Amino acid sequence: MSAAGLRADPQFWSRPAASAAQQPRQQPLGRFCPVAQGSRQAPRARLAAGRLRQQLPEEPAFVRLLGLSSSPSSGSRQAARTRLAVSRGHHGTPGDPTLVKLMGLRGRPAEQDLQVLLRGELGTWGRDPRLATRVLGGLARERRADVAEQVLNCMRAGLVEVNVFHCTSVLNAYGRDGQWQSALSLLSRMPEMHVAPNEVTCNAAISACEKGCQWEVAVHLLGCMPAMGLSPDAISFSAVISACEKGSRWQVALSLLGQLPAARLAPDTIAYSSAISACEKGGQWQLAIALLGSMPRCGVAPDVISWNAAVSACEKDGQWRPALSLLGRMPAEKVALDTVTFNAAISACEKGSQASQALKLLRTMVMVRVARDAFSYCAAMTACEKAEKWPVALEVLGEMVDEGIAKDLFTYSAAISACEARGQWFLALEYLGAMAMDTIEASTVTLCATIAACEQGAHWQPALEVLDKMSKVSIHKDVVAYSSTIGSCKEGGQWRRISELLHGLRGAGLQPDIAVYTAAMVARLRRARRAQALSLLAEIRARCIPLLSGIDLPTVA
User: What's the distance, CA 252 to chain centroid?
Assistant: 19
pLDDT of residue 241: 94
Which of 232, 262, 290 terminates a domain? The answer is 232
Range of the domain at 197: 105-232
* Lowest mean pLDDT across 187-201, 311-325, 326-340, 541-555: 541-555
Q: What CATH number is associated with residue 524?
A: 1.25.40.10
Is there a domain that residue 277 lies in? no
- Mean pLDDT, all residues of the chain: 77
* Lowest mean pLDDT across 114-118, 168-172, 395-399: 114-118
Is there a domain that residue 386 lies in? no
In the predicted structure, residue 324 carries a pLDDT above the cut 50: yes
Which of 232, 265, 300 terminates a domain? The answer is 232
pLDDT of residue 344: 96
Write down the H helix ranges in 34-104. Answer: 41-55, 61-64, 76-90, 97-103
Angle at Cα 4 formed by Cα 3 and Cα 7, nearest 5°?
Answer: 100
Between residues 13 and 454, the one the model is more confident about: 454
The one-letter amino acid at 230: L
The count of structural domains within the chain is: 2
pLDDT of residue 315: 95
SS3 state at 34: coil
User: By the 8 A CB rule, do 232 and 48 touch?
Assistant: yes
Q: Is 552 exposed, middle or buried (0-12, 13-18, 19+ CB in 10 A)?
A: exposed
Is there a domain that residue 70 lies in? no
Q: How far apart are the first and last CA of the chain?
A: 77
In the predicted structure, residue 556 carries a pLDDT above the cut 90: no
Q: Which range is most confident: 320-324, 394-398, 469-473?
A: 320-324
Angle at Cα 462 formed by Cα 459 and Cα 466, nearest 5°?
Answer: 135
Is there a domain that residue 264 lies in? no
Please count the CA atoms within 13 angstroms of the CA of 203 that sit on its side-chain side: 20
SS3 state at 543: coil
User: Would the CA dihedral through 343, 453, 408, 410 be positive or negative?
Assistant: positive
Cα dist from 425 to 31, 441, 458, 488, whole Å: 59, 19, 9, 11
464 C-beta neighbours (distance < 10 Å), count: 20
At CB < 8 A and 24+ separation, what contacts does 120-126 make? Answer: 122/154, 122/155, 122/158, 122/160, 125/155, 125/160, 126/158, 126/159, 126/160, 126/161
Q: Rounded mean pLDDT of 85-103?
A: 62
In the predicted structure, residue 539 carries a pLDDT above the cut 70: no
Angle at Cα 493 formed by Cα 492 and Cα 497, nearest 5°?
Answer: 95
User: By the 8 A CB rule, do 278 and 244 touch?
Assistant: yes
User: By the 8 A CB rule, do 97 and 132 touch?
Assistant: no
* Lowest mean pLDDT across 133-137, 252-256, 456-460: 456-460
Is there a domain that residue 6 lies in? no
Please state, in angstroms and rounded to a whole number, the distance separating the CA atoms of residues 207 and 176. Answer: 8
Q: Which contiguous run of DSSP H or E holds residue 507?
A: helix 495-507
Write down the H helix ranges in 352-457. Answer: 355-367, 374-386, 390-402, 409-422, 425-437, 444-456
Is there a domain that residue 93 lies in? no
Is there a domain that residue 41 lies in? no
pLDDT (tens digit per residue) in 285-314: 999 999 999 999 888 999 999 999 999 999
pLDDT of residue 251: 93
For the CA atoms of 54, 56, 57, 60, the dihedral, rounded to the nearest 10 degrees, stands at: -100
Please state, in angstroms and rounded to a whole number, the distance separating the CA atoms of residues 98 and 128. Answer: 15
Is there a domain that residue 260 lies in? no
Please state, in angstroms and rounded to a whole number, the distance separating the CA atoms of residues 471 and 476. Answer: 7
Please state, in angstroms and rounded to a whole number, the distance separating the CA atoms of residues 350 and 383. Answer: 4
Between residues 411 and 76, the one the model is more confident about: 411
In the predicted structure, residue 423 carries a pLDDT above the cut 80: no
Which of 171, 206, 232 terminates a domain? The answer is 232
